[in-house]
Structure 1
Amino acid sequence: MSQHFQVSGQIVDIPAKQIYPGTIVVKDGYISEIIKLSSAPDIFICPGFIDAHVHVESSMLVPAEFARLAVMHGTVGTISDPHEIGNVLGVAGVKYMIENGRQVNFKFYFGAPSCVPATPFETAGAEITADDIESLFQEYPEITYLAEMMNWPGVLFEDPIVKEKIALAQKYGREVDGHAPGLKGEKAAQYAAAGITTDHECFTAEEALDKLKVGMKILIREGSAAKNFEALIDLLPDYADQMMFCSDDKHPDNLVESHINALCRRAAAKNIDRFKILQAACINPVEHYHMKVGLLKVNDPADFILLDNLDEFNVLATYINGQKVAENGQSLIPRVKNEIINNFSTGIKSTSDFALSPETKNIAVIEALDGQLITNRLSYPAKVVAGNAISDLANDVLKMTVVNRYEEAKPAIAFIKNFGLQRGAIASSVGHDSHNIIALGVDDESICRAVNLVIKARGGVSAVDGSEEKLLPLPVAGIMSAEDGFEVSKAYAAIDQMAKKMGSKLTSPFMSLSFMALLVIPSLKLSDKGLFDGDKFEFVSPFDK
């Protein structure tokens, strides 16, 4: 238990929309008393920030290391969807995340993954059934919701398995998270009526408004790859009680720099009422997901942060359960031992595995969009050498592959535009959602070398540029490191810079690469089984016929 202490400053009472001088008295991890004063120091005492939807795995850090970085920015808890490790290791992966997170002083709350495997159109490492979900609800109080229901067609068409999973969540008093990009009007109303209470996938204000009007909570997402803040933030003043902030996916170098505090800062720069900003950042996730996180009330857990002002939201200190866990940009959470579990079974590849014989004169090309998960479909003339369709650097059209990591299989091949590489190749075993190996490059040999670096490490991100090779090993499920989060951040930043020196103009090339296998987001993506049309929900040829 923590020692008894008190902190004085300007207390930010968000529900009452008041700021007043006072002292917070902490006893054995709880707030025992709040004393109003006539004057107090010019620091603001505020509830801690909550990331209302994040895949911790996307940070490439295990939960214990994620927490060490997040607390520097005033984050005291997360609503974490362990969907990524679930697709690799099933229930064992979900339990790993919970147990690892329990080792540190941080408020991790998890969802029971609803869509594992994510689709029948890719090879995953595991399955999570309705019975598994019920067992997780029964066994773990940290599991406070059914994680994002990506199978929105299954919701609308009343798929019996989807209905069973939603019914289980309702039976155990858990919320149901949504995932329905582009759904509007009557379909959005039908989705909400089925029991879906949130969505973090809105990329237009019009879409978000349709969902808000039928009572859904809308999460403003600003992650390393998907960025919807500018599209949605103007809704916050009118819907502050229905909105939250989230990152969804946050790479380690970005997590070292900022977290939810950055969204508060940007919202303040738009002159949005500070209480409405803090309602979304601090209060709404705690109440919606029934988190045991203190909100600056007597008898609450002593979870709070100290800020120097309410414009820039610079975090001076973070307290969780009455313990100071960060101060002046330094994490005070000690490192713990992180076990390694994995599921990786594929052999070394040959350059010839990535050859593709042309069927027609034109190829179908995925157009990647910086800062977006959605893609467009384009068509370009195939560039062919010795019967092999190859990358076309003049048009920034690169060969891409997804390699099954769970069993021996022929790599799937397609083409992609906008990654900008002029040399070499990049590869990653972080490939949403099934986490097969995804790679792209300017020539087959470089692609093969980058893929083999990942295979030899049983997971990681790699870059190959002539004789230079870089690898960040990710041995935990092939998607996370067990090492110090700050060191992982530096290593990731170095390999990210290498990709940019090779020509990529994308803000986060590896994060964008990982989402090029995300079949549930339109329009064109690549799985280990082939090129997939996310609008028609069917496989298509990599060649335009």
Structure 2
Amino acid sequence: MSLLIKNVAIADVLEDKIKTGDIYIRNGRFEKIAEHIDASEVEEKEHLTVINGEGLTALPGLIDAHTHVELSMLSSASFAEALIQNGTTAAVLDPHDAVNVLGHKGAKYLMEEMKETDLTPVWMASPCVPSAPGYEDCYGQVMLSDVKVMVEEYGMYGIAEAMDYNRVIAKEASLKEILDYGKEKGLKIDGHAPGVLGADLDTYIAAGVSSDHESVTVGEMLEKFRKGMYVIIRRGSLKEPASAKEFLDKAGDSDHILLSTDGCITAKDMAEHGHMNYALAQIVKEGVEPLQAIKLATVYPAAAYGLKDRGVIAEGYRADMILVKNLTDFKVQDVIVNGEIAKASYPRMDYPKEVIHSIKRDDLKEGELTIPLPEGCIDGEVKVNIVKIVDGTLETIHEERKLPVKNGALILEDDLMYCAVVDRYRKDGSIGIGIISQAGALQGAFAGSVGQDTQNLIAFGTSLSDMTLAFNQVIVKQGGLSYVRDGEEKQFVGLPVLGILSQKPMDVFVKETDRLLADLWEHGCILKNPILTMSLQISLAVIPEMAITNRGLLDIINNRFIPVCELV
């Protein structure tokens, strides 16, 4: 099969210009690019497809410089379908959620299903599982032996984000061993270091870490950039604090600046707005010049992650290309992968029992969820440490209030909810419980098996009894999202693969989650996306200030557990 795209505007990321011409593709490669190519002159006429590109712009296939399959809650095949239809043809993938669930075997299952798709993955071996050892529990801690399996047996490209930056800076032995191995092997090592600056940043970089996607200010981005790191700008469904335009104006055009979603984009946003094309639209709206933006998502990540024949529309390169309607919202008209029009769907893997029966926790019993009070406190008042949600971000804030206690029970104010995280990996898994604010007052309870990064069970609501039932629905159904109200399950979305992923097509999955979200909003939840907040914010032990893990209420700034309630 060969393709001829006629009269198309071409984004030339090597010469920094838009030019108009024809593109001839044969045997999966860009064979000829010229102002005019006559169909009668091409070598393969019999199976030639001609596309009228007038009014369209051809871009190299987009590359996500850092993301996670699992945050989409879609399996590898569903995920690949979603990305490719939006023009993302390659992605740098950290499978740490799957590794949290099933060790390095979890990553292998993601890789196997991905092989049947047209998405080009650059797999990175997850070094920080769990993300905060000693503060949370998962299937088991990743050690050097696990990383060696992922790199040497599975063929992963490098080491994924070293997100436990405190352990890196402290030169903790087990993580240092992994990073030293990466340096010795000449592997690329990705980072995750929000707020790490100065001497601590120098130590972090010296450990071999070469990138970061977690900066919260332009000043932080500039320091990391000037010290030689790849700075990855993140855009997706979250509000990001640092301006891409301001950073790029100060840093200049550089192949050490990349663009990613970091997986922080919902399936619904992918369906409605796109994927990396949506990330491009966001930074262009901020004022970034379109061609510069395109380079951050094509030629620069291709060079950074070993995709030597990608990221450029030029003769001899692999023909991964998209046709977009404009350089404002980057809506995709056509996607070409390896020289062919992209497929709409891919086969699903038939997973074994260890993948679809991964939740080991026994059902919770009534009364297991309780807020611990100071000894002897029956009536009166206590100081309560609260996790304040900053909606639409990854940020949480430590809030303190004084609340009444009556007959040995804490009385919540109208804008507060209970929140609990349960270890899913042991039959008698531990429970951490706390109080959250700025999420509304949901009638009943919402639970899921998607608490980042460990993928432990998590729930919030105003009824501890409904929380217990919601947890048990997720346990018995081996993964999913459950909304319970007045002792009855009202909504359930199944996530059978590793207890965190659906194999349904994106549009079907979005309809299911839309029904769930509508019910949550109707009954008191005020979060923009309760699923995203539950899965990516409350239990995340590596982004300040507060988290609830299966071990308790965690003060991330000071690396210590604190009581939910204290004597006044």
- Provide the TM-score with structure 2 as the length reference: 0.89
5+ residue gaps, structure 1, are: 327-331
Superposition pairs of residues 96-107 of structure 1, within 5 angstroms:
96-107=109-120
For 1:543 and 1:383, the matched residues in 2 are separated by: 11
Instruction: Report the AA paired with residue 244 of structure 1.
Output: L
The structural deviation recorded for 1:383 is 4.1
For 1:7 and 1:140, the matched residues in 2 are separated by: 38
The structural deviation recorded for 1:335 is 4.1
Distance 1:409 1:95, change over 3 A: closer
Indicate the residue corresponding to 2:43 in structure 1: none
Indicate the residue corresponding to 1:444 in structure 2: 464
Give 3-state SS (helix, strand or coil) of 1:137's partner: helix
Which of 155-164 and 65-74 deviates more?
Answer: 155-164
Per-residue displacement from partner, 1:24-74 (whole Å, max 9, x unpaired)?
221121222222339973321110111211111011111111111112211
For 1:151 and 1:336, the matched residues in 2 are separated by: 34
CA contact (8 A) 1:7 1:24 kept: yes
Superposition pairs of residues 127-146 of structure 1, within 5 angstroms:
127-141=141-155, 143-146=156-159
Is residue 413 of structure 2 the alignment partner of residue 397 of structure 1? no
Indicate the residue corresponding to 1:347 in structure 2: 362
Instruction: Report the AA paired with residue 21 of structure 1.
Output: T
CA contact (8 A) 2:14 2:312 kept: no
Indicate the residue corresponding to 2:525 in structure 1: 504
For 2:430 and 2:118, the matched residues in 1 are separated by: 45
Per-residue displacement from partner, 1:504-529 (whole Å, max 9, x unpaired)?
22221121112211111121211111
Which of 149-158 and 335-344 deviates more?
Answer: 335-344
Distance 1:77 1:217, change over 3 A: same
- Provide the TM-score with structure 1 as the length reference: 0.93
For 1:451 and 1:347, the matched residues in 2 are separated by: 10
Give 3-state SS (helix, strand or coil) of 2:504's partner: coil
Instruction: Report the AA paired with residue 41 of structure 1.
Output: E
The one of 370, 373, 376 equivalent to 2:397 is 376
For 2:409 and 2:425, the matched residues in 1 are separated by: 27
Give 3-state SS (helix, strand or coil) of 2:351's partner: coil
Indicate the residue corresponding to 2:239 in structure 1: 227
Per-residue displacement from partner, 1:187-216 (whole Å, max 9, x unpaired)?
223322332111111121121121111111
Is residue 319 of structure 2 the alignment partner of residue 302 of structure 1? yes
Indicate the residue corresponding to 1:421 in structure 2: 441
CA contact (8 A) 1:204 1:232 kept: no
The structural deviation recorded for 1:170 is 2.7
CA contact (8 A) 1:221 1:229 kept: no
Indicate the residue corresponding to 2:297 in structure 1: 281
The structural deviation recorded for 1:262 is 1.6
For 2:175 and 2:76, the matched residues in 1 are separated by: 28
CA contact (8 A) 1:421 1:499 kept: no
For 1:184 and 1:48, the matched residues in 2 are separated by: 34
Superposition pairs of residues 162-201 of structure 1, within 5 angstroms:
162-201=175-214
Indicate the residue corresponding to 1:253 in structure 2: 268
Is residue 101 of structure 2 the alignment partner of residue 88 of structure 1? yes
Per-residue displacement from partner, 1:406-429 (whole Å, max 9, x unpaired)?
111352211111110241111111
Distance 1:115 1:35, change over 3 A: same
Distance 1:544 1:222, change over 3 A: farther
CA contact (8 A) 2:244 2:283 kept: no
The structural deviation recorded for 1:162 is 2.3
Instruction: Report the AA paired with residue 309 of structure 1.
Output: N
Indicate the residue corresponding to 1:34 in structure 2: 33
Per-residue displacement from partner, 1:442-480 (whole Å, max 9, x unpaired)?
111121121111111111111123345111111111111
Instruction: Report the AA paired with residue 316 of structure 2.
Output: N
Is residue 222 of structure 2 the alignment partner of residue 209 of structure 1? yes
Per-residue displacement from partner, 1:145-203 (whole Å, max 9, x unpaired)?
21100121222222232232122223333211101111122322332233211111112
Indicate the residue corresponding to 1:329 in structure 2: none
Indicate the residue corresponding to 1:316 in structure 2: 333
CA contact (8 A) 1:390 1:443 kept: no
CA contact (8 A) 2:96 2:129 kept: yes
The structural deviation recorded for 1:385 is 4.5
How many corresponding residue pairs?
Answer: 534
Is residue 550 of structure 2 the alignment partner of residue 528 of structure 1? yes
CA contact (8 A) 1:221 1:227 kept: no
Structure 1 segments, 4+ long, off by >4 Å, are: none
Instruction: Report the AA paired with residue 95 of structure 1.
Output: K
For 1:110 and 1:333, the matched residues in 2 are separated by: 22
Instruction: Report the AA paired with residue 154 of structure 2.
Output: Y
Give 3-state SS (helix, strand or coil) of 1:430's partner: strand
Is residue 482 of structure 2 the alignment partner of residue 470 of structure 1? no
Distance 1:24 1:528, change over 3 A: same
Question: For the aligned residues, what is the CA RMSD?
Answer: 2.0
CA contact (8 A) 1:105 1:333 kept: no
CA contact (8 A) 1:402 1:527 kept: yes
For 1:345 and 1:38, the matched residues in 2 are separated by: 62
Indicate the residue corresponding to 1:161 in structure 2: 174
CA contact (8 A) 1:307 1:315 kept: yes
Distance 1:499 1:112, change over 3 A: same
For 1:168 and 1:321, the matched residues in 2 are separated by: 34
The one of 218, 223, 238 equivalent to 2:231 is 218
For 2:302 and 2:98, the matched residues in 1 are separated by: 24
Indicate the residue corresponding to 1:362 in structure 2: 383
Per-residue displacement from partner, 1:472-494 (whole Å, max 9, x unpaired)?
11111111112233211211122
For 1:358 and 1:412, the matched residues in 2 are separated by: 14
For 2:321 and 2:239, the matched residues in 1 are separated by: 27
CA contact (8 A) 1:338 1:482 kept: no
